[in-house]
Amino acid sequence: MAKTWKERERAVARFFGARGRTPLSGGNSGHTRSDTLHDELFVEHKHSVRHAIINLWDKVKPLARKENKLPVVTLSVKGRPGFWVLVHSSDLVSVANQRSLARSDGGDG
């Protein structure tokens, strides 16, 4: 049975160490418009049958696993600095560790 969006928001809140999901986060909750009650992170969670970017990630994952690598999808927008990084929650710490290693070796940012 598929989890409801509220259950997924609770799981995301736990993952990031938030105090929980924000009741009425899309409306006027009186706290925050973020989906989680976190002091530092503003989290917007979308629960859907499919997301276009996840379709791309699904194509990348078997290619990465075949090479014993972590699947990472990055997105950039012409004319905007920086980029966005998509990783699965189970790979986040490992990817962050790789980023830390790159920074200690003189990588950008």
The residue out of 47, 63, 84 marking a domain boundary is 47
Q: What is the pTM of this model?
A: 0.78
The CA distance from 18 to 25, in Å, is 14
Same domain, 87 and 34: no
Domain boundary among 47, 69, 84: 47
Q: Which two tokens stand for residue 38?
A: 């976190």
Instruction: State the DSSP code for 30.
Output: S
Q: Total structural domains in the chain?
A: 2
Model pLDDT, residue 30 = 60
pLDDT digits (tens, 9 = 90+) for 12-65: 889 989 888 888 655 555 668 888 888 888 988 888 888 999 999 999 999 999
Residues 36 and 58 in one domain: no
Residue 36 burial (C-beta neighbours within 10 Å; 0-12, 13-18, 19+): buried
Map residue 75 onto helix, strand or coil.
strand
What local confidence, expressed as pLDDT, does residue 1 receive?
44
- Which pLDDT score, from 0 to 100, does residue 34 have? 85
Domain check: are 64 and 36 in the same one? no
* Structural domain containing residue 101: 50-109
Say whether both 32 and 10 belong to one domain: yes
40 and 61 housed in the same domain: no
Give the H or E element holding residue 85. strand 84-86
Whether 60 and 106 map to the same domain: the answer is: yes
